[in-house]
Every structure is written in structure tokens, then in C-alpha cells.
Copies of this chain bind each other. A is one copy, B any other.
Amino acid sequence: MPATDAPEPTAAAAEPPSSYFVQSLERGLEVIRAFGADHPSMTLTDVARVTGLTRATARRFLLTLTDLGYVRTDGKHFELTARVLRLGYAFVSSHDLPQLAEPVLEELSAAVGESASASVLDGAWVVYIARVHTRRIMRVGISVGTRFPAYATSMGRVLLAHGEGDDDAAALAAAGPFEALTPHTLTDPARLAAELARVREQGWSLVDQELELGLSSLAVPVRGPDGRVVAAVNVSMSAGGAGGAAPAERVEDLLPHLRAAAEQVEEALRLQR
């Protein structure tokens, strides 16, 4: 597993791995991903800079995406259109997990009075596939598709701890040190590996303000019909909650609700087969 803050391969840097490889597709997807919170609207020059493509190449991709309706332009600035959602929606609609998890998360959130989420791993990242939030929690702008570095999140640790064999944990120990997102973040690979072993043993992970100050979360795994861990569900809470209870003191109360939710999703996955 690569260190989570390593730059991802860019279109310019990637070598075509083989004769079948369609580099134009890789580059086009890079152009779509170049847009985002930091670059909602870009000129041709911006896109070339962000993607590492030449201006001529970036222009061909932008005009193609405009023809296809994924991008619109005023002649100078380019931005994504809602058609791009069709691509992400292909994932959501083709997998049972997001649909099955959502009603369960709603019950869980209502029962414990906190936000509840489900996520899967995408490389070194956790990606939210369903989320139900309470109105009282500070808004952190999390929605389906949001991703965070797996090492600093409760769902990420559950997924890394229950990965295929010990490969993930071993690779993790070789990677790092990891970025300290807060003063509490575990950044030492050996300590992180020990924590993952503990998570695997106890079947849950509590992460207290390692991703963001003031935010804590508790996660458990969700297993598919074949017994493999396919997702994680969590409850996230304010670290200094309204009731004044520290997150560690709430584990005993929250865990039965979380486990019941995980079991409901597991049962739904079995019935879906």
C-alpha cells in the first residue's frame, strides 16, 4: 500500500503499461478529476498545468468532453456539468451495498443521535458510499464519494485490519511515516501496525481526533456472504459531546447499536444473493 500522501500518478507521468492500454482514456479521466473543490472552473492553461498535459492535448480532451456534455464552457472557462454524476452513479446503482446500507444507517443514526456512515477502501483511502447525518453535528461536508486517508479514520483502520491476510498491515508498516493531520494522529508505521492488530482482535476501532480536532468515530466491519469484510460502518461524534462523555466512555453504549447495524446489512447482503 502506498503512503497515503504520496502523489497519485498523473497522466503525464504514467507509462503505458502494455500494448492494450488506452492512454487517451486515462488522460480523459485525469482531466475530469482535475476539476474539484480547488479547481471548479479552469481555463485551458489551468487544465494543462494541473494535469501535466500539453495545451494541445488538454484542448482535445476538453473539447471532446464538451461535445459529450460532461463539460461546459463560456469559450474561455471550463467546468463540469451534472452529466459527470452519471459516471459515479453507475457505481452506486450497480452495487447493492449503498442502497442496502442507507435505511440501516438511518435507524442507527436515529437510535444513537449521531451521524452514521458506510465506506469501502479505494487504495489507501476510505470512500463514503452512504451517509446519514444528524443536524446537530458540525457540518464537515461529507457526502457519498468523499474520501479520507484510511490510516487516520476508524472505518479505514477496520478495513485495513480485516484486509486480505496480513498484506495490508505489513505494507503499511513499510510505508509511512504518515502525515499528522492533528496532534493526535498516529504517524509511526510500527505503532499503527500494532493498533491494526488490536482492531482486528477486538473487532472495532475508535479514532479520537486523529483526522480532525473535535471529531471522533467508532467503526465495525461488515462481512459479505463469503465472510470477507466488504465495508465498514461507523458512528461519528463530537469529541467533547453535549453530554460531556469522552468518546472512549461511549464505546460500551454505542457498540451494540453499531454491531446490530452491521448485522442487518450483512443479512440484507445475504438475502440479495
Which residue numbers of A lie inside 8 Å of B, CB to CB?
Answer: 17-18, 20-22, 24-29, 32-37, 39-41, 59-61, 63-65, 67-70, 79-96, 98-99, 102-103, 106, 110, 120-123, 127, 129, 135, 139, 141, 143-147
Each complex incorporates copies of this chain amounting to 2
Q: Closest residue of chain B to A80, judged by CB? A: B91
Q: How far is the CB of A20 from chain B (nearest CB, A)?
A: 5
Q: How far is the CB of A156 from chain B (nearest CB, A)?
A: 13
Give every chain B residue within 8 A of A33 (Cβ-Cβ).
86-87, 90
Contact of A90 with B86 in the complex, beta carbons under 8 Å: no
Docked complex Cα distance between A246 and B193 (Å):
60
Docked complex Cα distance between A94 and B17 (Å):
31
Contact of A90 with B84 in the complex, beta carbons under 8 Å: yes
Contact of A85 with B145 in the complex, beta carbons under 8 Å: yes
Q: How far is the CB of A117 from chain B (nearest CB, A)?
A: 13
Give every chain B residue within 8 A of A68 (Cβ-Cβ).
25-26, 29
Docked complex Cα distance between A130 and B91 (Å):
17
Give every chain B residue within 8 A of A91 (Cβ-Cβ).
35, 80-82, 84-85, 88
A32-B87, A89-B88, A143-B98 known; A122-B81 Cβ under 8 A: yes
Docked complex Cα distance between A66 and B249 (Å):
44
Give every chain B residue within 8 A of A139 (Cβ-Cβ).
103
Contact of B122 with A82 in the complex, beta carbons under 8 Å: yes
Q: How far is the CB of A4 from chain B (nearest CB, A)?
A: 15
Docked complex Cα distance between A106 and B95 (Å):
26
8 closest pairs, A vs B, by CB? A88-B88, A89-B145, A25-B28, A24-B24, A40-B94, A85-B145, A84-B91, A87-B87
Give every chain B residue within 8 A of A135 (Cβ-Cβ).
103, 106, 110
Give every chain B residue within 8 A of A18 (Cβ-Cβ).
63, 67
Q: Closest residue of chain B to A103, judged by CB? A: B139
Contact of A145 with B60 in the complex, beta carbons under 8 Å: no
Q: Name the contact of A21 in the complex, choosing from B20, B40, B64, B129 (C-beta under 8 A).
A: B64
Give every chain B residue within 8 A of A94 (Cβ-Cβ).
35-37, 39-41, 79-80
Give every chain B residue within 8 A of A99 (Cβ-Cβ).
141
Give every chain B residue within 8 A of A61 (Cβ-Cβ).
22, 25
Contact of A36 with B93 in the complex, beta carbons under 8 Å: yes
Contact of A20 with B110 in the complex, beta carbons under 8 Å: no
Give every chain B residue within 8 A of A129 (Cβ-Cβ).
82, 85
Give every chain B residue within 8 A of A65 (Cβ-Cβ).
25
Give every chain B residue within 8 A of A87 (Cβ-Cβ).
29, 32-33, 84, 87-88
Q: Closest residue of chain B to A94, judged by CB? A: B40
Docked complex Cα distance between A65 and B143 (Å):
24
